[in-house]
Structure 1
Amino acid sequence: MAEVKDMDFYQIEKKWQERWEKKKIFQVSESSKKKKYYVLEQFPYPSGSGLHVGHSFIYTVGDIYARFKRMQGFNVLYPMGFDSFGLPAENAAIQAQSHPKKFTEEAIRNFKSQMKTFGYSYDWNRMIETHKPDFYKWDQWIFLKMFEKGLAYRKKSPVNWCPKCNTVLANEQVQNGKCWRHEETTVEIKQLEQWFFRTTSYADELYSNLEKLEWPEFIKTAQRNWIGKSHGTEIIFEIETERRPNFILLHGYTSSPKENFFPWLKKELEKRGYTVQVPVLPNTNNPDVSEQVDFVLKNCKFDEQTVLLGHSLGSVIALKVLEKVKKPIRKLVLAAGFSEPKFLDKKRSFEKTFDWKFDFEKIKKNVSKIKILRATNDSAAPQERAETLQQHFGGEILDFTAENNHISGKEEHVVLQQCLETFPIFTTRPDTIFGVTFMVISAQHPQLMDFITEKQKTVAQKFLKKITSTKQEDMDKLGKEGVFTGSYARNPLNGEKVPIYASNFVIADYGSGMIMAVPAHDPRDFEFAKKYDIPIKPVLLKKSDESYSYVMGINEEDIKKIGITIIEKTKSGFFKIKIPPDKLEDYKAFIRKNMKAGFWNEFTTKKGFYFIFKHKDGKIEEMELNEKTNDIIDKYGMIFNGEIPKNNPENVYSWLAKNDFYKELLIHPGPGILINSEDFNGLDTEEAKEHITIYLVEKKLGRKAVNYKLKDWLISRQRFWGTPIPIVYCDKCGIVSVSEKDLPVKLPEDIKFNSTKNPLVNYKPFIEISCPKCKSLARQETDTMDTFVNSSWYFLRYCDPKNDKKIFDTKKTDYWMPIDIYIGGKEHATMHDIYFRFYTKFLRDIGLLKFDEPAVKLFNQGFILGENNEKMSKSKGNVVLLNEAAKKYGVDPTRLFLVSNASPESDKAWSNAGVEGSVKFIKKIIDYFAHFKSGKTSKRAESKMHKYTKEITAYISNFRYDLAVIRLRELFDILNEETISTKDAGIYLKLLHPFCPHVSEELWEKLGNKGFISLESWPEADETKIDQTIEKQDEAVNQVVNDVMNILKIMREKQEKEGEQIYLYALPNEVSFYNSERISIKIGKKVSVFAVNDKNKFDPEQKSGKTKPGKPGIYIV
């Protein structure tokens, strides 16, 4: 073969990279008859500092796999692009007072050049850059589709604010109270109007589909925990504040206040003491909008506490009324509402006669809160009308099943609940509902100030200031703190009015942001109740076969006589006892007879507590403790203690719980038997959960529910360098989406960066725009989208990156998708890895995709650390730049080192010595081929070639590259010992190729082959050619080498002696296994081999006597 001894790494890297590019051998199309395989790494953010070897590790892992699958005969899609929007470029632009596009595109050129230097086999023809308008146009298109479907919406919300980024962060981007980008920066909470994606609409599928994914279990567990599925009950609590509402109810077309739910609703509201106005709208069969609006304004009294309900056409009248009211009202409730004509069932006369133009901005300003009620069983109003209303003026959509079509039942409980101030409380413990003694609303809840009364305002504001000024990491030290709001909630089951506190221990965006507090059965609630002297009401008695009692008025000797166990005798001379179940009736009789007059005895039973009183006249009264007997028992307890009974009797279970003996039975978080719970007493926890939920559902006071910790995705960012949100704000039309034909909404290039704030806010050419609907002057949204939006669908654009007519050709995505292997960091488990699943499901639901999940398999690579085992960073001075490594060591040695020594999923430290070892190994290969002489492949070499081909194939398939490299080294040692043919030498180069593509291409050519080894077929192992005798012999040799090396090590360490001569004693039938020359080469010492029955053997210490099958005796001098 040709001369290769003085091979220069740089020259061959350049040579083959140019040839690959010239022949476009890595470009692929859908026309191939081969089976497709899509290999993808998470694409990088192009930072100004370029790539270091830590960054390159992920691409090396992916490239090895792509080359391997390509050689296995697949049509491999292996693209690369750049996640090129982001803060670093914007911050650099601010410092230089330039444009981030300049920094970004310089960084991309640098990244691409470095990636090409490393020989990655990307199809560069498919490169995407997310900062380019031809990409982010489709970000905006997806946003519009989500907006149409109600999955993109705007609301005021407490948000995470990073003062260093000057923007909001999604929940997933806050890590231990710090910004994910700036680990030293404490995240603050602000209340802002923001855009969200409704990821919660897919929460159930995101959770349940995890079972189908071939992803690492720890990633699936992390997502399950993040999504946080809980089964429980949603319970409706009515809220009572000092600002009492009044109600105006507007009926619909051809209706009246005497029809549908109106009589019942009026009665229910008046029963609670509220003022209710239900005008009879004129000409209801042939309505005139102006006439009806004027009638309402003339005949109804509006003020700041008015709640206005519009049902069906009444909702249109309500909207028109709100355009004209003089003061903002408290709440607007729209039941089966709409703001445009056309219905599902039939035409209505008013569709053509009504004025369908609305001043949505004025409507929005004239109401504090909006509820949009949508019945899922409505056959008249299209379902999307609710989203249309929400897009115009915000508000909350509530979906439910109405009692009758078009929300026209005689009783519509959801309508009542939404007219009132109600809070849905999710709980997994409905069995404790009777133990609620207070409610807690999050101190960060957007509606908190609605609950705080004038009397409590000063103290509440002082508390809230303390909370907002406390750093996140100091919250735990602060403890459970709160303040009474002045408002109350009413328990829907027993009607009890309980106080509402604001506190720091409730999360604003979990459930409704308010919890029911049961201090007897929740440690957190208990701590809070003790601190603020809130009643503690036990409702669960721990299950126990034995009964317990705190005995007074009985002699110790008498107790012992009946075989009762005394647990403890108190200083007061009382006894704590445990009563076996078979002795309970005997004990009752004993108490009746032996207890002194003027005393009482209580003891636990399987249903609760039982009391026996012996009055001073000897009269005995006994009763179970329940709601009917509570006041009597409390009264007797006071009298027997010589105290005056209270006018408001205490809950007996509460005073029993003050006794340390009973406390652990009554104050606990676990299951038990219901007490203090009216008709549900005696049920165990699981029975009670079911029965109480059924009762709540029947009474329209609650429902079975599934709750998720997953929150909707906050996508608004107050920064420039991101995808503009395609929304316009019009004073007449409200929130209006940009027309698809006007996409993309482009970022301006002639804009100045002179502060850390978003420069779009003051840039008139961008802000000032015509309304797409009415053509009036409007305002363009200046927030941009979270950059995770770009990475949530980029993998689909690779399938059709140059399409300027549509987001992608579905025929191409049908061919390439889903991704077969997706490679990236485990740090994205609860951000990107959830977002791109969400996007896939949405795009499927609008008909663009035919699969449920974006990636069949996910592989998480580890990190390459600095030599000091710390993460590579400039500040630590341990960064090894990619170009420097390639220049110093060569690309192939660097690639080989990166995947040696440990599994790719593990972290590993960079080692100069380690990569130098790879250099030496590759130079040995080069030297071998420089002196290669072809011959007939020996039996041993043939056996090993097939055995190692099988193993290397399996190891690469399973990402055990480290083990594959070990086998490549071992196989090379064998080739050095044996004779092989040119064909088999080529097979070795094929096995080497994914790891060392440049050297293998060069040596393949030097062997006389044409074309590219990159496009050659992967070797296939023939197991019939694996000689088991040879394998057994080699296994024996390897074992004895290990044994000898261990003995030599012990001699050096313990005897400080270096053995020079090794003698082996094998069984006669195994002596041929042990080739003394091969073993000598492996050990580096002289080795002599004898059969144990050889009379001429040298064996001064009779080590041959220790010989066993497969294990020779060993003697070392």
Structure 2
Amino acid sequence: MATFPFPYVNAPPHIGSIFTLLRVEFMSRYMRMKGYNVLFAQGWHATGGPIVSAALRVREGDPKQISNLLSMGVPKDEIPRFGDPEHWVRYFSAKWREDLRRLGISVDWRREFYTTRLNPSYSAFVRWQYIKLRERGLVAKGAHPVVWCPKEQKVVGDHDRPDEYVGIGPEEAFVIKFRGEDGLIYPCLTYRPETLLGVTNIWVRMDAEYAVAIVDGETWVTSRYSLDELRDQGHAVEVQGHVRGSDLVNRIVVNPANGDRVPVLPAEFVDPDLGTGIVMSVPAHAPYDYAALRDVKSDPGRHGVNPSLVEGLVPRGIIRVEGRGAAPAVEAVEGADISRQDDPRLEHLTKEIYSLEYYEGRLGDAFGDLSGVSVRDGKAKFADRLVKSGVALRLHTLPQRVYCRCGARTHVKIVDDQWFLRYSDPGWKSLAHECVDSMKFYPEDVRRIFHGQIDWLQDWACAHKGELGTPLPWDEDWMVESLSDSTVYMAYYTIAKYLQHTDSYGIDPSRLTPEFFDYVLLGKGDPSSVAGSTGIREELIRSMRSEFLYWYPVDFRNSGKDLMYNHLVFFIYHHAAIFPREHWPRGIGINGWVLVEGRKMSKTAGNFILARDAVARWGADATRVAEALAGDPGLEDPSFDAKVAANAVDELYAWHEFAVNNYGRGRDSRLKVDDWFESVLNRTLAEVDSLMSATKFRSALVLGFYELQNRFRWYLRRSGTPNRDLMARFIEVQTLLLAPFAPHVAEEIWSAIGKDGLISLSAWPEPDPSRVRPELEAAEELVMRTLDDVRHVLSLVKGKPVRVRIVVADPWKYSFVDSIRGALSSGNKLGDAINSAVRSLEPGIRGRAAPIAAAISRDPGLLAISVGRDLERRALEEALEFMSSELKLPVVLEDEQSSGHGKASQAVPARPAIIVDVEQV
């Protein structure tokens, strides 16, 4: 069972979303050919506010929204219908379906559905899910921080924002109140309250305008942005005036933790619109702080700073990490040779040091009774003391700017009477970690991100008002929000062919009770009792249960990297909470965001490509091939290239013509080079199979189509006429390997060469390990390289060449190379292995080993293709006629000892000496 997250249907698909979906498609076609029944179903997501908001803008005649619809190909006379949110759902789900069919995506369309109460069967399923979660105590009601749009006065979910802001949610921070000797409170927002004892100063931005406001009866100087968050999180705020950051520099404030008097200093790295716009400086543990403090101290006057205030400021280490110095930020910045406080590398160093100190650090002596406690445990205790003493307060904020689709900047608001999922529950977290440990990840290194996200994730507002969706079963004023209704819907796919066609099966969606889903999806209850309450035939109920058990769990779910931080973690959490372990997800694939020719795709940049436009321009198969070649799994962003798509058109056509015109042709006799190509073919099959199973589809296509054809071209040059059976085998294998990527061309070829049935249902080609001959491949590689070396030497020769002599090295040199290989296999580094091999030689020939050692040092690949003297000599001897034909010159083979030429001693195992005789004038 392979799935792609159902897309939000407010636009047709572009090549970015298609790239992610095609990874599921390639896996599905590959696994079918491996002999599996594969379920690949597809639904459409309509839950949330964006469609409602967009429909409102159409009704208001908003020219930008209307222009967007026209740019998506919506006919002008149909625009008024988009004032109805339901029309968006039906129109764009149909467009997605059309475009996927154009691309040949192998979806089981019987199971197609869209979300919201517009689909009563799916809504019944969502209600069941939330009843299960509430029964387990995992849904609660109370005050909760949410991302809030001040313009539209609503919660902003991930689908309510542009893609670059998806996954960013409220984070708990602490505001430390530094009291100024001028009577003002200087609030510093921090995620690391435990570093307060290491503060040397606080930072402001010189050119920023700060608000002066009464906050809970105290006079604060803070950013204007923070005032909205403070108000919406229950604090009394009254603005009194404003002050420039430059006017605050050189003032003195008091550290509330230890009474130290510290100065207010300027820093360019401070963002006045994040947090309070005032930052506490801990240069021993924060790279930005150290870089800025060093900058100010180097020239106080240039920064408008009184030199006496900074003379004695030095980083103060307060956290201990075994094996690291007292001031890790200083070590990191100096070690990276960073000279400016706006160096982008500081961001990476900040995350690295925070992670190191959080997971491995211990609080230092300055913490008194908390000294020696791990940072993970001591941080919360220290922060609680600050809050209880009144010198700090908790504030939820966003770690970066986040904008609503309407264009307004959002902030964090505490909403009362909010329904939320208790992702902070330790037991639930433990189950989610267990699920992650049991899964496969493609690539493997994202596993740590999922564990980290589970640790970080806190409670989540799971229901909003005024949006499309499914009502909470116990509070119908609230709709389950877009991410929260899309967590276990993959289970719905297994029975969707029944529930989406209720008339065909005599099912009344209004009678789909929780007991129905309990039996079908969890095996709880009695099917006859369920039949009585739902009016569904007992036999059909049992069939649905059997179908669920046949398909579940999800084997492969592929997504863009943005969904790692919300949807995919929720997917893990909810399965762990509701389903038994045998039905937990088995695999997740991750890919980056698709670039177009190395640039971010956007309409303004002119490189935004809709899927339908790609198919119209290059055809389905060439588009699929270009998407496959854009990149492998991982966090790196793949890049789609129009030139690659255009070339794929010609390459696929050329392969079709070659395969159809050459199948069944060739000689019946066998040559030595046939064994070589048969080995290449079988080894390539094994390697491609391994790459496909690891979802490295780009690498699989490059190896299995492009590199294999390059090898075949060499085979044609070496053999003249291919062996008939080997030619047929090559055409079959090449077409079968191509089938998941270019199914239409592959089907045409399969039919044209006389094969029965569809290639998409044919068996994936299996390698014959007994036909893989590494020594033959190494020997042929030696022939290739030797021919290239000869061509290079000929290009340098002065005079008319009349003969080429290829000189094979003396036997002792091969023993020397074997000694190097043996030392390497014992774990030695290359240099040490060479030295060890030299010492093992007789003293009389050690000096003659220097050229060999130098050659291997320059090109360690020689060790891989060195096959022993006898095989090397035989391979070159058998290739003499071929090389003579290629070079249009006589080519002879000689031994170093008998050659008599001065250059013969240059011969090295796997790199024979090349001597060119020229015409004597």
- Counterpart of 2:4, as a letter, is E
Corresponding position: 1:907 with 2:892? no
Q: Indicate which of 48, 71, 75 corresponds to 2:37.
A: 75
Is the 2:147–2:156 contact (alpha carbons within 8 Å) kept by the matching residues of 1? yes
Matches within 5 A, 1:634-645: none
Matches within 5 A, 1:98-247: 98-131=83-116, 132-146=119-133, 149=137, 151-155=139-143, 159-161=147-149, 163=151, 167-170=154-157, 179-180=161-162
Structure 1 CA distance for aligned equivalents of residues 455 and 211 of structure 2: 26
1:944-979 alpha-carbon deviations (Å, 9 max, x no partner) = 221111111112122332332232233334456232
Separation (CA, whole Å) in 1 of partners of 2:86 and 2:768: 55
Report the counterpart of residue 685 of structure 1 in structure 2: 371
CA distance in 1, matches of 2:800, 2:641: 32
CA distance in 1, matches of 2:214, 2:764: 73
Answering whether residue 763 of structure 2 is matched by residue 963 of structure 1, we say: no
Measured in 2, the distance between the counterparts of 1:126 and 1:691 equals: 52
Q: For residue 931 of structure 1, what is the amino acid of its counterpart?
A: N
The match for 1:810 among 522, 533, 551 is 522
Structure 1 residue 850, shift from structure 2 partner: 0.9
Q: CA deviation at 1:70?
A: 2.0
Structure 2 Cα separation of the partners of residues 902 and 696 of structure 1: 45
The 8 Å contact of residues 1066 and 1092 in structure 1, kept in 2 or not, is answered as yes
8 A Cα contact 2:903 2:915, kept in partner: yes
Q: CA deviation at 1:1063?
A: 4.9
- Measured in 1, the distance between the counterparts of 2:612 and 2:380 equals 66
Closer, same or farther in 2 for the Cα pair 1:1106/1:1013, shift >3 Å? same
Q: Assess, with a 3 A threshold, how the Cα gap between structure 1 residues 1017 and 899 changes in structure 2: closer, same or farther.
A: same
Deviations 1:810-857 (A, max 9, x none): 35555544422221111222222233233334xx2xxx4013995433
Which residue pairs with 2:587 in the alignment? 857
| Residue 606 (structure 1) aligns with | none
Q: 1:999 aligns with which of 737, 740, 745?
A: 745
Indicate the structure with greater helix content: 2
Residue of structure 2 in register with 1:916 after alignment:
646
Give the Cα–Cα distance (whole angstroms) in 2 for the partners of residues 963 and 695 of structure 1.
51
| Residue-by-residue CA offset, 1:974-1024 (whole Å, 9 max, x unaligned) | 456232424564333322222222222232233333222222222222322
What pairs with 1:675-714 in structure 2 (closer than 5 Å)? Answer: 685-686=371-372, 710-714=457-461
Q: Deviations over 1:387-444 (max 9, x none)?
A: xxxxxxxxxxxxxxxxxxxxxxxxxxxxxxxxxxxxxx99987898999xx9xxxxxx
Q: Which deviates more, 1102-1111 or 70-79?
A: 1102-1111
Among candidates 657, 676, 686, match of residue 940 of structure 1: 676
Partner amino acid, structure 2, of 1:825: G
CA distance in 2, matches of 1:530, 1:965: 61
Q: After superposition, what is the alpha-carbon deviation per residue over 1:97-140, rounded to whole angstroms, capped at 9, x for unaligned?
A: 63222232122222112211222222222222114232233334
The letter for the 2-side match of 1:979 is N
SS of equivalent to 2:586? strand
Please name the residue that 1:895 is paired with. 624
| Residue identity opposite 2:495 in structure 1 | D
| Structure-2 separation of matches of 1:794 and 1:688 | 41
Q: 1:889 to 1:534 in 2, by over 3 A?
A: closer
- Distance verdict in 2 for CA 1:827–1:1093, change over 3 Å: same
Tell me whether 1:824 sits opposite 2:559 in the alignment. Answer: yes
What is the letter of the counterpart of residue 899 of structure 1?
A
Aligned 1:1033-1052 pairs, distance under 5 A: 1033-1040=779-786
Write the distance in 1 (CA, Å) between the matches of 2:225 and 2:455. Answer: 18
Q: Percent identity among equivalent residues?
A: 19
Q: Aligned partners of 1:894 and 1:92: how far apart in 2?
A: 31
Amino acid at match of 1:953: D
Q: Within 5 A, what are the aligned runs for 1:690-1089?
A: 710-717=457-464, 719-720=466-467, 722-726=468-472, 737=474, 781=477, 784-801=479-496, 802-803=498-499, 804=509, 805=512, 806-807=516-517, 809-810=521-522, 815-841=550-576, 844=577, 848-851=578-581, 855-867=585-597, 869-900=598-629, 902-905=631-634, 906-926=636-656, 927-933=658-664, 938-968=674-704, 969-975=706-712, 977=716, 978-981=722-725, 982=728, 985-1040=731-786, 1063=804, 1065-1067=806-808, 1069=870, 1070-1074=872-876, 1075=879, 1089=891
The 1:947–1:696 alpha-carbon spacing in structure 2 relative to 1, beyond 3 Å, is closer
Q: Name the SS of the counterpart of 1:824 in structure 2.
A: strand
Deviation at 1:80, TM superposition (A): 1.4
Q: Show the counterpart of 1:363.
A: none
Q: Which amino acid letter does the alignment assign opposite residue 691 of structure 2?
A: Y
* Conservation of the 8 A alpha-carbon contact between 1:168 and 1:716: no
Can you give the 5+ residue segments of structure 1 that lack an aligned partner in the other structure?
1-37, 184-221, 236-424, 439-473, 489-498, 516-526, 542-657, 673-678, 728-736, 739-779
Question: Which residue identity does 1:1073 align to in structure 2?
Answer: A
Corresponding letter in the other structure for 2:685: T
Q: Hey, what's the Cα distance between the residues in 2 that align with 1:80 and 1:955?
A: 25
The answer to whether 1:43 aligns with 2:43 is no
The structural deviation recorded for 1:84 is 3.0
SS of alignment partner, residue 486 of structure 2: helix
Contact 1:93 1:99 survives alignment (8 Å): yes
Whether the 8 Å contact between 1:948 and 1:967 is mirrored in structure 2 is: yes
Alpha-carbon contact 2:195-2:318 (below 8 Å) kept = no
Q: What letter corresponds to residue 734 of structure 2 in structure 1?
A: Y
Q: Per the alignment, do residues 1073 and 173 of structure 1 end up closer, same or farther by CA in structure 2, a change over 3 Å counting?
A: same
Shift of 1:925: 2.4
Alpha-carbon distance change, 162 to 992 in structure 1, aligned in 2, over 3 angstroms: farther
Query: Are the equivalent residues in 2 in contact too, given 1:143–1:152 (CA < 8 A)?
Result: no
**Deviations, residues 653-703 of structure 1 (Å, cap 9, x unaligned):** xxxxx99898759x776579xxxxxx99976832799999999999xx99x
Pair 1:1107-2:907 in alignment: yes
8 Å Cα contact 1:486-1:500 kept in structure 2: no
Letter in 1 for 2:154: T
Distance 1:1042 1:1016, change over 3 A: same
In the superposition, relative to structure 1, how do residues 1027 and 664 fare at CA in structure 2: closer, same or farther (>3 Å)? closer
Name the count of aligned residue pairs.
Answer: 601
Could you say which structure has the larger radius of gyration?
A: 1
Q: Secondary structure at the match of 2:600?
A: coil
Contact 2:808–2:912 (Cα < 8 Å) also in 1: yes
Deviation of the 1:943 alpha carbon: 1.6
Shift of 1:1026: 0.9
8 A contact 2:632–2:697 mirrored in 1: yes
Asked if the contact 2:736/2:746 (under 8 Å) is kept, the reply is: yes
| Residue identity matched to 1:714 | A
